[in-house]
């Protein structure tokens, strides 16, 4: 479904992605793991056709996605309906007077005639049904996140790109979201810098290194044991530990966020 080949990208001369290649089949669920600033968000924006790479190619469903192909109105319409991106900062996505309008925006924009029914269905599924008449900017960070997710799912996209979806969530909501995502039929690519969450989010794991290149593409399960890889990706660290009067040092993660 997604075919990414030798992507390079840079902002103002500083590399953000280096020679990244991978494929994602329809219905596959994968996690994109990497430390802050390694290029995760940029990669998602490229996959959503919002930012274009300096070199390399990106094909969606066999069709090249670039500025030229997105100028084709019918492809653009189809691509925007089928690919949903949840921004890391949910504020960026909210611009309607009420939650109801916010969720209905996509269906209306795409001319679907069952917008109202869809809004109610997805607002209920994401637990924001009682917020429908509130203004989005009055909500908590976690609620905003759920409204944004509902605004994407309401279009029933084929590919869902989620940028750090658990960052604003408390532990209970995080657990709920993990289960919810597993039950979706969509092709899913989720970014996180939370190592212990990675295997929960998908069976396959892509790791972006600090050098903005893809370090690992494979199963998520064995990853926790590969300390050398994790250290290179800046996903584990070491510091002194005190247990009573004993002190020692080992590599580990801190990921309760």
Partner 1 sequence: MRDRALLLLYLGAIVAATFVHDPARLAAALAAVLLASGRRAPRVLARASRAAAPFAAAVSLGWLAASWWEQRPAGAALLRLNLRVLLMTSLTFALAARLDLQRALGFSRTLRFALVLTVSQVLTFRRLHADFRLALLSRSPRRVSTAASLRHGAAAGAWFLRRAEHDAAEIAQALDARGFFLDRR
Partner 2 sequence: MHVPDGFLGPQTYLPAYGVAAAAWTFGLRRLRARLDAATLPRLAVVTATAFVLMMITVPLPGGTTVHVAGIGMLAVLFGVWNAFLSLSLVFLLQALMFGDGGVTALPVNALAMGLVGSLAAVGAHRLLRPVNRDAALFAAGWAGTVASATLMAGVLGLQPLLSRAPDGSPLFFPFGWKTTLPAVVLPHLAVGVADGVLALLAGRCLAPRPATAAPPPGPEAP
Q: Which is nearer to partner 2, 92 or 245 (CB)?
A: 92
Q: Which does 34 bind (CB under 5 to 8 A by kind): partner 2, partner 1, none?
A: none
Q: Report, in Å, the least distance between residue 104 CB and partner 1.
A: 12
Task: Output the 3-class SS for the chain.
Answer: CEEEEEEEEEECCEEEEEEEEEEECCCCEEEEEECCCCCHHHHHHHHCCCCCCCEEEEEECCEECCHHHHCCHHHHHHHHHHEEEECCCHHHHCCCCCHHHHHHHHHHHCCCCCHHHHHHHHHHHCCCHHHCCCCHHHCCHHHHHHHHHHHHHCCCCCEEEEECCCCCCCHHHHHHHHHHHHCCCCEEEEEECCHHHHHHHCCEEEEECCCCCEEEEEECHHHHHCHHHHHHCCCCEEEEEEECCEEEEEEECCCCC
Residue pair 98/132 in contact (Cβ under 8 Å)? The answer is: yes
Q: Shortest gap between Cβ of 102 and partner 1 (angstroms)? A: 9
- Binding status of residue 51 toward partner 2 by CB under 8 A: yes
Considering only residues 55-114, where is the footprint of partner 1 by CB under 8 A? 73, 76-77, 80-81, 83-85, 87, 89, 91-97, 105-106, 109-110
- Residues from 186 through 245 that contact partner 1 (CB under 8 A): none
63 binds, among partner 2, partner 1, none (CB under 5 to 8 A by kind): none
151 binds, among partner 1, partner 2, none (CB under 5 to 8 A by kind): partner 1
Site for partner 2 contains 137 (CB under 8 A): no
Q: How far is the CB of 211 from partner 1 (least distance, A)?
A: 24
Q: Which does 218 bind (CB under 5 to 8 A by kind): partner 1, partner 2, none?
A: none
Measured from the CB atom, is 34 or 106 closer to partner 1?
106
**Which residue in 6, 11, 108, 196 binds partner 2 (CB under 8 A)?**
11
Residue 49 lies near partner 2 (rule: CB under 8 A): yes
Binding site for partner 2 (CB under 8 A): 11-12, 14, 49-52, 67, 70
């Amino acid at each position: 479904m997604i075919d990414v080949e030798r992507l390079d990208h840079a902002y103002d001369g500083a590399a953000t992605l280096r020679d990244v290649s991978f494929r994602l089949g329809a219905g596959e669920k994968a996690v994109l793991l990497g430390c802050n600033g390694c290029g995760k968000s940029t990669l998602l924006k490229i996959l959503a056709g919002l930012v274009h790479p300096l070199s390399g190619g990106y094909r969606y469903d066999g069709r090249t996605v670039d500025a030229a192909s997105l100028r084709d109105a019918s492809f653009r319409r189809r691509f925007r309906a089928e690919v949903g991106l949840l921004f890391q900062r949910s504020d960026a996505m909210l611009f309607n007077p009420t939650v109801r309008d916010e969720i209905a925006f996509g269906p209306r924009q795409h001319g679907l005639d069952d917008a109202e029914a869809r809004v109610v269905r997805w607002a209920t599924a994401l637990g924001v049904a009682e917020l429908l008449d509130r203004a989005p900017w009055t909500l908590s960070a976690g609620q905003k996140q759920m409204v944004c997710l509902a605004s994407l799912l309401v279009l029933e996209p084929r590919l869902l790109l989620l940028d750090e979806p658990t960052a604003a969530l408390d532990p209970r909501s995080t657990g709920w979201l993990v289960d919810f995502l597993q039950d979706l039929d969509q092709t899913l690519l989720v970014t996180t810098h939370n190592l212990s969450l990675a295997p929960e989010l998908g069976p396959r794991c892509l790791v972006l290194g600090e050098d903005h290149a893809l370090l690992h593409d494979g199963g998520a399960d064995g990853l926790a044991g590969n300390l050398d890889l994790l250290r290179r990706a800046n996903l584990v660290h070491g510091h002194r530990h005190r247990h009573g009067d004993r002190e020692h040092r080992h590599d580990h993660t801190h990921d309760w966020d």
